[in-house]
Amino acid sequence: MNALSAERLAYRAVFISDAHLGTRGAQAEALAGFLRSMTTEHLFLVGDMIDGWRLRRSWYWDAAHDEVLRLVLRHARSGAAVTYVPGNHDEILRRWLGLEVAGVRLARESEHTTADGRRLLVMHGDEFDSVVRYAPFLALLGDWAYAQALVLNRHFNAARRRLGYPYWSLSQWLKRQVKGAVKAIDRFEGALAGEARRRGFDGVVCGHIHHAEMRTVDGILYLNDGDWVESCTALVEHPDGRLELVDWTLASRGLAAVLASEREAIPGSVDAAMASGSQSAADAGRGAEPGPATGVHDLARAWLASGGAAEGGAPGPNVASNA
Ligand SMILES: [Mn+2]
């Protein structure tokens, strides 16, 4: 395996969301590294890429944030169909739905058909906040209440914004639910999968709750591409239609381990290579067996299989953040 290969991993589709650019929490350098490491035919930005709510108070922007935008535009110029589905933190962009700027198409929601013919609904997921939050009551009140909750959700956040309150964050709320978090995440997944089913899709791709996941919910494929704040995760489709969750933190560490073993004589060279943008971390995983889509990057699998734990404790192959 040649970790230094200049060749990039070629995906058919890449889904990323919740980068929250404009805040200090954004893992912009990592995201730039990932964007640099691959080519793709379809690039979906599934919401909350830019954190517009924070624009009024604290706004943080550095060269890495610029770099992410530059790389997205470069993908567009290179022929990738780039679709930006705004979320709740960048909903200011929802004013320009249908517009195409520099090859990036803005859409309220989108869809994608995989190489093996699965139709996926692509939406951010904030549409279901109130349903998730008030699910126990809604269950008592029935379908009518469910529909009302969806409407209320829009007005609730619009009102908060007018009053100058920050967006009510489902992902933050989930973290505070010590006992109820798993149940609430379950409700979110159920709500999204239910929407996909009602509309005749085979699956749904979303973000919003900062919790990467790939599973089947009542026969519907639920795919959450995670985030670039708490974890560094993306959903990718390989040319044959195989879907996979990429954990970039794990993949980057894998690259570091590979580089360290190949260049053990030159201390510091690994850091230098990483700083220069880990040209193609994912390529190192090319030789890995294309197993089932377990949600762990090929490279990470190969690395873990090789018993490599260069630094700290070996991270478990657990993509989902403990939101
Ligand atoms: Mn969101």
Three-state SS for the chain is CCCCCCCCEEEEEEEECCCCECCCCCCHHHHHHHHHCEEEEEEEECCCCECHHHHCCCCCCCHHHHHHHHHHHHHHHCCCEEEECCCCCCHHHHHHCCCEECCEEECCCEEEECCCCCEEEECCCHHHHHHHHCHHHHHHHCHHHHHHHHHHHHHHHHHHHHCCCCCCCHHHHHHHCCCCHHHHHHHHHHHHHHHHHHCCCCEEEECCCCCCEEEEECCEEEEECCCCCCCCEEEEECCCCCEEEEEHHHHHHHHHHHHHHHCCCCCCHHHHHHHCCCCCHHHHHCCCCCCCCCCCCHHHHHHHHCCCCCCCCCCCCCCCCCC
Mind listing the pLDDT tens digit for each residue in 215-230? 999 999 999 999 999 8
Strand partners, 214: 223
- Reported as a pLDDT band with limits 50, 70 and 90, residue 53 is low
> What is the distance in A from the centroid of ligand 1 to the CA of 178?
20
**What's the 47 CA to ligand 1 centre distance in angstroms?**
7
Contact residues for 144 (Cβ-Cβ < 8 A; gap 6+): none
Task: Decide if pLDDT at 59 tops 60.
Answer: yes
Q: What is the pLDDT of residue 121?
A: 98
How high is the pLDDT of residue 166? 66
Question: Residue 118: is it exposed, middle or buried by C-beta count within 10 angstroms (0-12/13-18/19+)?
Answer: middle
185 Cα: distance to centroid of ligand 1 (angstroms): 14
Specify the higher pLDDT residue, 73 or 8: 73
Distance 312 CA to ligand 1 centre (A): 31
Q: For 85-141, write each residue's pLDDT tens digit.
A: 999 888 888 888 999 989 999 999 999 999 999 999 999 999 998 877 776 666 666
Residue 281, pLDDT above cutoff 50: no
Q: Pick from 39-53, 258-272, 300-314 the range whose average pLDDT is largest.
A: 39-53
What residue ranges define each of the domains in the chain, with the CATH number in brackets? 9-247 (3.60.21.10), 251-317 (no CATH)
pLDDT at residue 246, as a whole number? 96
Q: Which of 34-43, 121-130, 153-162, 255-264 has the highest mean pLDDT?
A: 34-43
Q: Choose between 179 and 124: higher pLDDT.
A: 124
Q: Give the Cα separation of 297 and 247 in Å (integer).
A: 6
Computed over every residue of the chain, the mean pLDDT equals 78
Reported confidence tier of residue 182, pLDDT bands at 50, 70, 90:
confident
Cα of 3 from ligand 1 centre, angstroms = 35
Give me ligand 1 centre to Cα 181, in Å. 16
Which of 74, 1, 58, 4 shows the shortest CA–CA distance to 26? 58
- pLDDT score of 89: 87
Q: What is the pLDDT of residue 289?
A: 35
From ligand 1's centre to the CA of 268, what distance in Å?
38
> 209 CA to middle of ligand 1, Å?
7
Total Cβ atoms within 10 A of residue 140: 8
Phi, psi dihedral angles at 186 (to 5 degrees)? -60, -45
Higher pLDDT among residues 81 and 183, named by residue: 81
The protein residues having their C-beta less than 5 angstroms from ligand 1 (an ion) are 48, 87-88, 126, 208
For residue 285, the model assigns a pLDDT of 37
Q: What is the largest CA-CA distance in the chain?
A: 68
Cα(53)–Cα(90) distance, integer angstroms: 7
Q: Is the pLDDT at 176 greater than 90, yes or no?
A: no
CA of 46 to the centre of ligand 1 (A): 9
Could you report the per-residue pLDDT of 137-171, keeping only the tens digit for each? 666 666 677 677 777 777 776 777 777 766 677 77
Q: What is the 115 CA–ligand 1 centroid distance (Å)?
A: 28
- Residue 320: pLDDT band with limits 50, 70, 90: very low
